[in-house]
Amino acid sequence: MRHRLLLPAAAALALLATACTTNPAKVKVYQDEGFESNEVFSRLFDAPVDQTCEAARRALLSQGYLVSVIKPDALNGTKSFQPQGDVHVQIEFHVVCAPDGTGGKVATAYVNALQDRYALKKSPNSASVGLAAIGSLSIPLTASDDSMVKVASETIPAGPFYDRFFALMQRFLRETSTE
């Protein structure tokens, strides 16, 4: 009889322990994606694809970005920042230029910027000494190994950030059309 009472109580206790140790519902970021027709990440330009991407290249170069992938219709650029002694931030731009409409005189620039944040992580060194009488003794040393570790990565969602970039692109397009 005692075993019959203990079994349901043990099962209930195990179920309760499992409920307490499981992770809360995981945040599903993709559910916030509205796929709305806003103009945060794209802009229409009155210029062919190659001129639009050239304006994007010049805009990035003028702001200190290192442009790496350069194609007639796409490019990437990166820039590094050190806002604090133990924090490093890198912004990577991705630009794709696509023809819009017929005739090839209008293009849309699709832009997104990814921000990666790195932090300095210290790994302390220690030395172990084995002594027969007392066993092993670990002595911490003051030296440590430092390494930068990525701690965050996100697409920059700020509309004004992209508005400034697109305005600079427009300025370069105006300058090249007057030449």
Q: What are the pLDDT tens digits along the chain (179 aa)? A: 444 544 455 555 454 555 554 455 566 777 777 777 777 999 999 999 999 999 999 999 999 999 998 999 999 999 999 988 889 999 999 999 999 988 889 999 999 999 999 998 877 665 555 656 666 656 565 556 678 899 999 999 989 999 999 999 999 999 987 66
Residue 163 lies in a domain: yes
Residue 140 lies in a domain: no
Reported in sequence order, the residue ranges of the chain that DSSP labels E, i.e. its strands, are 42-45, 66-71, 74-84, 87-99, 107-131, 135-155
Count of the separate structural domains present in the chain: 1
Read off the DSSP letter of residue 30.
Answer: G
| Residue 165, both tokens | 């970039």
Give the angle subtended at the CA of 133 by the CAs of 131 and 139, to the nearest 5°: 35
In the three-class reduction of DSSP (H, G, I as helix; E, B as strand; rest coil), residue 102 is classed as coil
Residue 173 lies in a domain: yes
Residue 119 lies in a domain: yes
Give me the CATH number covering residue 69. Answer: 3.30.310.80
Model pTM greater than 0.75? no
Residue 16 lies in a domain: no
Distance from the first to the final alpha carbon of the chain? 97
The per-residue b/e assignment along 1-20, b for 16 or more CB within 10 angstroms, e otherwise, is: eeeeeeeeeeeeeeeeeeee
Which domain, by its residues, includes 79? 41-124+147-179
